[in-house]
Amino acid sequence: MAEQDRQIADVIAEERPQLRNFIRRRVPNESDVEDLLQEVFCELVEAHRLLQPIDYVTGWLFRVARNRITDLFRKKKPELFSDQALKNEEGELLQVEDLLPSPDAGPEALYLRGVLLDELELALDELPAEQRQVFVAHELEGRSFKELAAETGVNVNTLLSRKRYAVLHLRERLESIHEEFLRK
């Protein structure tokens, strides 16, 4: 048993860096990366304990990792930009216009408004066309994914994926400007 444990420990030590990088390139959340890595190695230990033959350990580990990544994305609910939306006192969703400083609030507010709109426009322009189109259609025009799928012939899951990537980019891109305005 001690020899088996040593063999497993050697495999884990040898394969961990490459496997972590493989998962990290596909999964944005670092805690999910670590969880998946642990799951893969737990499966290795379980297979070894049950004496399941594994001819090519590295290939087996990457196949299990790929399957766990797929499972993770199937379980996760798509991250909607509107889930992060702010609501006013009456519980109504605030529009982009509501989040910007009023143009009537003086020169500083007008300047900040311009900066925010410029940054948002630049961030949207950085997106690939397909992501930008889905994001604008769903979030700004209020169109449904079902409607967009019927119109474009693109699968709803593909549209959801494109929007998810757009949201992740916009959050990352606009986070610094958001932090700057919080300090003011």
Q: How far is CA 25 from CA 20, 69, 172, in A?
A: 9, 11, 17
Number of domains in the chain: 2
Q: In terms of domains, do 115 and 69 share one? A: no
Q: In terms of domains, do 62 and 88 share one? A: no
Q: In terms of domains, do 166 and 128 share one? A: yes
Closest CA to 69 of 8, 131, 25: 25
Closest CA to 31 of 76, 63, 74: 76
Q: Which domain holds residue 158?
A: 81-183
Domain boundary pick from 75, 97, 129: 75
CATH number, domain of 145, equals 1.10.10.10
Q: In terms of domains, do 51 and 120 share one? A: no
Q: In terms of domains, do 136 and 172 share one? A: yes
**What pLDDT is recorded for position 130?**
92
**What pLDDT is recorded for position 56?**
78
**Continuous segment of H or E residues that includes residue 59:** helix 57-75
Per-residue pLDDT of the chain (184 residues; tens, 9 = 90+): 677 678 778 888 888 899 999 888 888 778 888 889 999 888 888 887 777 777 778 888 888 898 888 888 777 655 444 444 444 456 554 455 555 656 667 777 667 667 777 777 888 888 899 999 998 888 777 788 898 999 889 888 889 989 888 888 888 877 777 666 655 5
Tokens standing for 80?
């909607």
CATH number, domain of 7, equals 1.10.1740.10
